[in-house]
Structure 1
Amino acid sequence: MACTRHRSMGVTMFRVMLLLATAAVAAALVAGTQLGLVDLPGKELVGSHPVLSRPQITVTTRPGELALRERGTVTVQAGAPALPGNRIELDTAGPHGLGFNKVSSAVLDENLQATLTVTGRDFLGSYKYWARMPATGTYQEGKSASFVIDIVASAAPVAPTCGGQAPLKADGSTWTCTFDDEFDGSTLDRRYWVPQVTRTSGFTTGTRQRYACAEDTPETIAVTGGNLELSLVELPATVRCGHGKRSKFAFGQVMHFQTFSQTYGKYEVRAKIPGLQVPGSQQSFWLWPKKNSYGAWPASGEIDFAELYSYTAGVNRPYLHYLPGETARGTNKNVTHARCPIDLDAFNTYGVEWAPGRITVLVNGEVCFTDDYSSVARAGQGKYSPFDKPFYLAMNQAMGDIGNEYDPAVVPDRLTTQVDYVRIWK
């Protein structure tokens, strides 16, 4: 018992002395005493970290609104301690306002200025942006004030003419031009034409063993010499396309996705396809539903008014898709068997006249085939379904698929389809 009591008293005394020592240290700190640290090596590191300054960033010009997928630019001015050559980026709020995504980046010039690219948006709405310089060892992170860019629908083409004189309908009345592009400039009009990109869509052409990725580059999509050029090219090296895909081949495709669509009308594309007469190449001009109103493909329809395969060179093989399940092979066909001759290695016009209950495909102004699809409409969908909803146009220069496989040993490393014009009436 005595030993236990002595140990308890010793512990108590130790605790009292520890409390007194702690109080003394606290008092010394309040009084400014350095507690002997003044003589310790490295004392300059204690309580003397320099405070890094933060570069000021001002957005000097920026767009207030952009059309769907239209690109724009933002100019910025940075201040010290930023230096020429430092990197600056444009950021935007992440999904649901959480976090942020980098939009583009640039380096500051000798005047500490930079121009940043605003990439096109796929959906209407208002989006927040700001410029930012990430922190480095010489300065803290700097950010500009945020600003908003409104993404709006593209304006309708100003008084499209579709080449002048309006064509006549079967009843003698004239068609009304609703869209045309003569491709007389030097750049793609991205207010209306949306490039297909595998990285965002996962879409490729070809076969599982050899396929081409859709790329938006000057090598695959260009406007020159009065034509839109869509190309299938062999790349110097294999590239990653996104969605776990990689390829040494790229192709060009443009479409009116979310920019222009209509129900019924007359479409005409004047184009020259490569004169290749061995398997490997395919060109398509087609109408795709704006929405899957009647279900997944093919229930909502597809109008391929031009499908051209190099293994059957000199022939247009248009297709219509609208029946689910097995291909129908009757008067009204899900897949047509029309084979319409074209002029090889020359410009041809490919067209379709789409009316309630009837689709007529034309080549060089002559009827290729007419399909009355009204009798295959399923109950409850309407007499003229599925072709009674808005569709939009798409065009590509693709790699051949099964039965028309691409062989790099015999196919040139570049194939280009030239489109002289696209004209649409209603």
Structure 2
Amino acid sequence: MTFKKYPLYVIPILLYFLFVSCGGETEKGKKIIIDVNAVDYWDNAELVWSDEFDGTRLSTENWSFETGQHGWGNNEWQNYVADDNVEVSNGTLKITAKKVGDGQEVGDYTSTRLNSIKDFTYGKMEIRAKLPDHRGNGLWPALWMLGSSVSTDGWPACGEIDIMEYVSYDPNIVHFTIHSTSNNHVDGTQASSGPIRLETAEEEFHTYGLLWSEEYLKFYIDTMDNIQFTFQRPKEFNANNWPFSKPFYFLMNIAVGGNWGGNEGVDDTIFPAVMEVDFVRVYQVKQ
């Protein structure tokens, strides 16, 4: 590049942009490298979005209802409805599964499935929740994320991140799982933590966390140093085995029955069943 045709006062500006575009060095002569594996990387994360569930109404700016009783790909029995099975009070969101019919059939139960309006790529995601009191079999609550391309790519190509899953026939146990074209439960190839014992899952609130970067997904309970499962980006990665470099949105729901939740049947005496959510928070490291 020649600078002869530029006024002298413009040359420093050109040099600066040349330096930035070439991935140059700092004034101390050290190249700027952001290491997502550094022990203090997530210490610099800043809160960028949250719902603390204050007040008495669900925020329609943050959440939308997904409704229907078509089985949701898992032969589930609930009819997801809007409004009637959701309450915001005393600083928490309550999602309630109810028995409304004779039982043991699709549509005899109602529940709610909430989707976040906003989606995110990378960050520290935290959902603090208390699972339904344990009274019997048949519930399948989940706190999870789905690739925003689901409407065009379909599942599992869009990707799925299960921040917490639980089935009530297996009390005091939670699971962390990812799904993609290469890893999914339909083919029996899902990548999962397996059962994680959490003795107070139904009695107390716990923070279910995800550290999501361009290189890994790390799942933890309560604190970042309590990692329960890590899924590392494959060395040879592509859309089939790593669809996790694009926007995902949150989902929260209680399913009834289904291929997993109904493995040991559905006990009709357990309803109504309530999952409480204290907050949903997203932190990101500014690049």
TM-score of the aligned structures, taking structure 1 as reference length: 0.51
In 2, Cα distance between equivalents of 1:232 and 1:312? 18
Deviations 1:377-402 (A, max 9, x none): 23xx49x8310000011111221322
Change (3 A) 1:234 1:353: same
Of 313, 337, 341, the residue aligned with 2:197 is 341
- TM superposition shift of 1:172: 6.1
**Do 1:321 and 1:335's aligned partners in 2 also have CA atoms closer than 8 Å?**
yes
**Do 1:169 and 1:175's aligned partners in 2 also have CA atoms closer than 8 Å?**
no
- 3-state secondary structure, aligned to 1:312: coil
- Partner residue, 1:417: 275
Deviations 1:255-311 (A, max 9, x none): 11xx20111011111111113153201111111111149933212211001001111
**Do 2:122 and 2:213's aligned partners in 1 also have CA atoms closer than 8 Å?**
yes
- Partner residue, 1:267: 125
Query: For the pair shown, which has the larger CA radius of gyration, 1 or 2?
Result: 1
Aligned ranges 1:27-176 → 2 under 5 Å: 170-171=40-41, 173-176=43-46
**Do 2:51 and 2:62's aligned partners in 1 also have CA atoms closer than 8 Å?**
no
- TM superposition shift of 1:323: 3.0
User: Which amino acid is 2:221 matched to?
Assistant: V
Aligned ranges 1:272-287 → 2 under 5 Å: 272-276=130-134, 278-287=136-145
- Partner residue, 1:375: 235
Change (3 A) 1:397 1:301: same
User: CA RMSD of the aligned region, Å?
Assistant: 3.1
- Partner residue, 1:213: 79
Change (3 A) 1:300 1:246: closer
Give the fraction of aligned pairs with identical amino acids, expressed as a percent.
23
- TM superposition shift of 1:325: 7.6
> In the comparison of the two structures, how many residue pairs are matched?
240
- 3-state secondary structure, aligned to 1:320: strand
Change (3 A) 1:294 1:362: farther
- TM superposition shift of 1:413: 2.1
Of 54, 60, 72, the residue aligned with 1:184 is 54
- TM superposition shift of 1:217: 2.7
- Partner residue, 2:252: 395
- Partner residue, 1:223: 88
In 1, Cα distance between equivalents of 2:60 and 2:180? 30
- Partner residue, 1:141: none
In 2, Cα distance between equivalents of 1:230 and 1:205? 21
In 1, Cα distance between equivalents of 2:136 and 2:167? 9
**Do 1:262 and 1:391's aligned partners in 2 also have CA atoms closer than 8 Å?**
yes
In 2, Cα distance between equivalents of 1:346 and 1:310? 15
- TM superposition shift of 1:195: 1.3
- Partner residue, 1:164: none
Change (3 A) 1:247 1:376: farther
In 2, Cα distance between equivalents of 1:310 and 1:356? 34
- TM superposition shift of 1:338: 2.8
**Do 2:133 and 2:274's aligned partners in 1 also have CA atoms closer than 8 Å?**
no
- TM superposition shift of 1:407: 2.4
**Do 1:251 and 1:397's aligned partners in 2 also have CA atoms closer than 8 Å?**
yes
- Partner residue, 1:242: none
In 2, Cα distance between equivalents of 1:376 and 1:421? 36
In 1, Cα distance between equivalents of 2:233 and 2:67? 33
Please say which of residues 172-181 and 306-315 is displaced more in the overlay. Answer: 172-181
- Partner residue, 1:355: 213
Runs of 5+ in structure 2 lacking a partner? 1-37
In 1, Cα distance between equivalents of 2:184 and 2:206? 33
In 2, Cα distance between equivalents of 1:265 and 1:408? 38
- Partner residue, 2:33: none
Of 308, 324, 327, the residue aligned with 2:166 is 308
Runs of 5+ in structure 1 lacking a partner? 1-167, 239-244
Q: Which has the higher contact order (CA 8 A, sep 6+)?
A: 2
